[in-house]
Amino acid sequence: MASVIERLISQGVLGIIRIHTPEDLVAIAKALYAGGLSCLEITLNTPGALRAIEAAQQEFPEAIIGAGTVLDAASAYQAILVGAKFLVTPVVRLDVLEVAHRYGVPAIIGAMTPSEILAAWEAGAAMVKVFPANVLGPKYIQEVRGPFPQILLVPTGGITAENAPDFIKAGAALVCAGSWLVDKKAIVEGRYEVLTERARALVEAVKRARESLK
């Protein structure tokens, strides 16, 4: 469990894959991986997500592939069975966290308010996903870290290469990027190189932001 968290923090970026056509999933993962993004989350509300997690993990054994939008214990267990290395929830789901602990898989639990964030952390979340980050902003992350400097916060929602550095400088352990990173128009047009370039830009932006803090 610790090694997965270390990899996620080291990467600094978690790419979220949420689309409607399962045949694109592995191709998207491949494009993002080519851009230097080795930590990927495939959401379970995507058709064929479980098969894609298994296939992506087999194709990219060095990558860290996890399951997102995990809403219940049964889904958590199924994701772990196919090889998900971590679980992500959109809200505080203690039943998912219980399954994660049982099988030694880290869980990133979604929360928004300070009370939810602390409750998720005290229940044993490896990290706490703060959503929606584009509404709350980097200043919110900075303020929450005031009373809770020990909590690993992962802002999610509206993250781009442009605003990711602000969240890193505010104290985020890493950032999650989805819709901007996995551009649906580019996918429909078969221009997967767009995803590769965005992944590369995002990874580099986070790297530069961290270097500026040294």
What are the catalytic residues? 41, 129
Q: Decide if 96 contacts 107 (C-beta within 8 A).
A: yes
Omega of the bond leading into 132 within 30 degrees of 0 (cis)? yes
Burial class of residue 96 (count of CB atoms within 10 Å of its CB; 0-12, 13-18, 19+): buried
Tell me which residue of 132, 158, 131, 153 sits closest to 142, measured CA to CA. Answer: 153
Tell me which residue of 166, 165, 154 sits closest to 9, measured CA to CA. Answer: 154
Which pair of tokens denotes residue 57? Answer: 């993990």
The SS3 call for residue 47 is coil
